[in-house]
A and B are shown apart, each in its own frame.
Chain A
Amino acid sequence: MTARLRRLAVLVGFELRGLLRDRKTVVLTVLLPLLVMPLLVFGTRKLEAQRDEEDRARVFGYAIDERDAAWIAQALAEGLRALPELERPQLREVSRDDPTMDVSVAVGRDSEVATIELAYHGNVHQSRLAMEGMSRALAAARKGRVVAALHDAGFPGDPATFVVVTERDVASAIHRAGARLGTWLTPVLVMMLMFGGQLAALDTLAGERERGTLETLLTTAVDRGDVVLGKWLTVFVVALINASMSFLSLWAYARWGAVESLPDASIALTPSMWVWLALLCGALAWLVSAVLLAVSGTARTYKEAQLYVGVATLALAMLGAASLLGSLRWQLAFAFLPVANVSLAVREVLAGRPDALLLVVTIAVDLAVGGALARWVVRALHEERLIVGTVDVGTLRGEAALRRATPAWVAGTWAIFMLGALLWPGLDLRLQLLFNLVGLMLAGSLILALRQRVALRELWGLRWPNPWAFLGVVLGVPSGLVLVGGLARLLEPYVGMPTRMQTELEALFLGADLPLWQQLLWMAVLPGVCEELYFRGFLMFGLRDRLRPVARCLVVAAIFGAFHLMLSRLLPTATLGVFLGATRLLAGSTIPAIAWHALHNGAALGLSSVGDESVTFPAWAYAIAVVGLVTAFAVLWRFRQSVDPKES
């Protein structure tokens, strides 16, 4: 075992031992789940059974408009006779001003349609039941009268058996049970993980900070990253134990008959479903423990951490409840939304509709977000504000402060992008472009730069490059276009219909009958300038201290792909992002990347306007494109210009 692993094992063992010695933690983590879940289920069922019994025995009060009394009373009597006994409501006629009246019935003035009014007397449930019972009775009466009328008119055969509608559910019992289980499993799991892990998490950083033991630990030889990892693993283990205890106890109680069998007990999981569920739940537990640790690590006091935990629980519960929204389709946009992605993925897996690609993206996203949060906590352990309550003036403003703020800023921008796409999908594309590109990207990075007093030329990389760099760009654009287009077509069978989407996108402009210069402005110039200043300018500048040039180029390209919010565009756009990032680094300037991006989009627009975008190039075209691309980067390399040693 390496020294680092040994230290990590010591840290985790130490944390767990400390927690186990705290009776409060043991009770809340181990004993409480043994009682809470079964009690919750048992109590809920008991209450439901009691209410059903009361409802069956309840006599509902109804009032009839005097003018229609005879007609409605007769219809009601007919309907009640026609209904089977179990469906027959117990009704009692009362006057309109009687406080026990639940519903009143009247006949419409202009037509012979019975109108049922709900009369609420502080018990909506009771009034609704009364209304349903009344509706059933009147519908049965109406049906009886229709059948009688048809019979009287000489309808051949028995009108009651004419066009009989029967229901048949084509889903198997297992799938139905899976779908039901899938809707509530993640929300419950999120709550259990938050509940089970919070005590350990709050104690482990916020509590230690308050007691002064954190400073003791931070002055030992152990790395702060290892301190965080050790504590994270501890919270993860405790949260998992808590959640497992809850489910196991519920299962055991159900098996022993202490609570009624679970409604979804008929579900049968295949081995692959088990694997996916285990991976999804593991990723979720990983992320939830990271959230808890982040809350604990960034709060100055235990009390402050408790406050944040409430907010975090609410936020995660809302995300976890995505599975309850039946109308939400599982698509790439959601695969990038932490917690909600697991919620939808679990539902789909249990309903027997797993999509391997989306599952992998979901798990990767949650693990990555968990990792990013943990890194954030490591940084928080360097923050003097959190350790000793003071702030070094050197960290308040300037490039360092901007770099610290960059990841959160980009994550926020992406979240707004996604919310916008979800909430206003039909918004005019030009408005979307203006808001996203100019408002969020350009103005956002501008505001951050002004706030942190960073020179815009530095931030956006607006240095005049070696003119030969543009030769590289001119060579690279057609090659890049062919290769990116080829990649999109290669992926088309797996991830959707990029060309169709592209056509739809372009139709918005072509259909709008915009002049060419406007089309180029919206589709080529604006994205070229704004996206390059944001991704290859601001973002590459912001990540300079965290990542080496190649890693930075790849990470920024991946983020660039993710900002396009479509699985079909992720990889092709990210590939283009790699070309643009490499150009930015080699040229030492964002200007050639802007030129490349604008020319690429302009050329793609030109191809689509002549209807050639779906043409599949022959193999030799791709070979030429590869040669062209290599030549382009050879030129860029030959005339490279780096102003920062970290970029060379």
Chain B
Amino acid sequence: MTAAAVAVERLRKTFEEAGRGTVVAVDEVSFECRPGEVLGLLGVNGAGKTTTLRMLSTVLRPTSGSATILGHDLVRAPASVRASIGFLSASTALYGRLTPAETLRFFAEVNGVPRAEVNARVDKLLHRFELEAVKHTQVEKLSSGMRQRVSIARTIVHDPRVLIIDEPTVGLDVLAAASLLEAISGLRDEGKAILFSTHIMSEAEKLCDRIAILNEGKILACATLAEHRASVGLHYLEDVFLSYVREAKR
């Protein structure tokens, strides 16, 4: 079996929030993600998906537990972790005053892509995501679907081996969302390890090789869709999900 690109061990995050006191956002979650695999984190809003992914992208520091990405420890080597990943979430916006070409060039350069390779890499991505026609238009003037394509191109411009993608289709129309999911599927085929969080069951069904079901900070189950179906005896993922959540609440 291929070695895990992402290995998470009992990762925990607790917050102190005004009015709510101590909140356990992520409660000792453990999972692995291998190269060429899309691991879905499926859960309702507030289940702990975004917090988990933010910890893995080093934006947040875990309260306890450990995680490695391509062997780099989250806490001890955050810079190496960041150099190994591409992170895309609803909260990672683009610079509105830059054009798509400038955006890709900037992120390639700050991520350490050799200068000689930058232009070729940028041109290739503009072509791949059909952005050539708008490459000199400022990002703030693009449609949301176009912007999301720029975002995904920005995420992979330095060719990271691990992608962390948090609810990327939020606010996109059906066509734009489908196009984005196709792009992510293509990246999986290139051998990238992809952590993909969503609350949309159909996305998880279509895209994910394995699905971890998160509820109130805990992973209730992590398996392939077929294994989940067999485990609870239900066909639709929505029913499977509800079954796990109701079981956990009992």
Q: In the complex, A558 Cα to B102 Cα: how many Å?
A: 47
Q: Contacts of A217 on B, CB cut-off 8 Å? A: 110
Q: In the complex, A286 Cα to B96 Cα: how many Å?
A: 29
A41-82: CB near B (< 8 Å → 1, else 0) gives: 000000000000000000000000000000000000000000
Q: Contacts of B25 on A, CB cut-off 8 Å? A: 390
Asked whether, in the complex, the Cβ of B110 is within 8 Å of the Cβ of A220, the reply is: yes
CB-based nearest A residue for B80: A221
Interface size class of A (residues with CB under 8 A): 20 to 34
Decide yes or no: A221 and B59 within 8 Å by CB, A211-B93, A212-B92 being known contacts.
Answer: no
B111 CB–A CB distance under 8 Å: yes
B28 CB–A CB distance under 8 Å: no
Q: In the complex, A14 Cα to B97 Cα: how many Å?
A: 11
Binds A, one of B12-20, B128-136, B180-188, B197-205: B12-20
Decide yes or no: A7 and B79 within 8 Å by CB, A216-B92, A393-B14 being known contacts.
Answer: no
Q: In the complex, A410 Cα to B157 Cα: how many Å?
A: 45
Asked whether, in the complex, the Cβ of A3 is within 8 Å of the Cβ of B112, the reply is: yes
Q: In the complex, A17 Cα to B102 Cα: how many Å?
A: 11
Kindly provide the distance from the CB of B111 to the nearest chain A CB, expressed in whole angstroms: 5
CB-based nearest A residue for B98: A18
Q: Which of B19-72 contact A (CB under 8 A)?
A: 22, 25, 54, 57-61, 63
Q: Contacts of B83 on A, CB cut-off 8 Å? A: 221
Q: Contacts of B98 on A, CB cut-off 8 Å? A: 17-18
Number of residues on chain B facing chain A (CB within 8 A):
39
Decide yes or no: A388 and B110 within 8 Å by CB, A219-B87, A221-B158 being known contacts.
Answer: no
Q: Which of A187-215 contact B (CB under 8 A)?
A: 211-213, 215
Chain B CB count within 10 A is highest, among A21, A221, A392, for: A221
Decide yes or no: A22 and B61 within 8 Å by CB, A10-B110, A221-B110 being known contacts.
Answer: no
Asked whether, in the complex, the Cβ of B95 is within 8 Å of the Cβ of A213, the reply is: yes
Q: Contacts of A213 on B, CB cut-off 8 Å? A: 92-95
B244 CB–A CB distance under 8 Å: no
Asked whether, in the complex, the Cβ of B106 is within 8 Å of the Cβ of A14, the reply is: yes
B91 CB–A CB distance under 8 Å: yes
Asked whether, in the complex, the Cβ of A219 is within 8 Å of the Cβ of B59, the reply is: yes
Asked whether, in the complex, the Cβ of A219 is within 8 Å of the Cβ of B110, the reply is: no
Q: In the complex, A5 Cα to B18 Cα: how many Å?
A: 41
Some 30 contacts from A to B, beta carbons below 8 A apart, are A6-B115, A7-B109, A10-B110, A211-B96, A212-B91, A213-B92, A215-B91, A215-B93, A216-B92, A216-B93, A216-B94, A218-B59, A219-B87, A220-B107, A221-B79, A221-B83, A221-B111, A221-B112, A384-B15, A387-B60, A388-B59, A388-B60, A390-B15, A390-B16, A390-B25, A391-B17, A392-B14, A392-B16, A392-B63, A396-B16
Residues of B whose CB lies within 8 Å of any CB of A are: 13-17, 22, 25, 54, 57-61, 63, 79, 82-83, 85, 87, 89, 91-98, 102, 106-107, 109-112, 115, 138, 154, 158
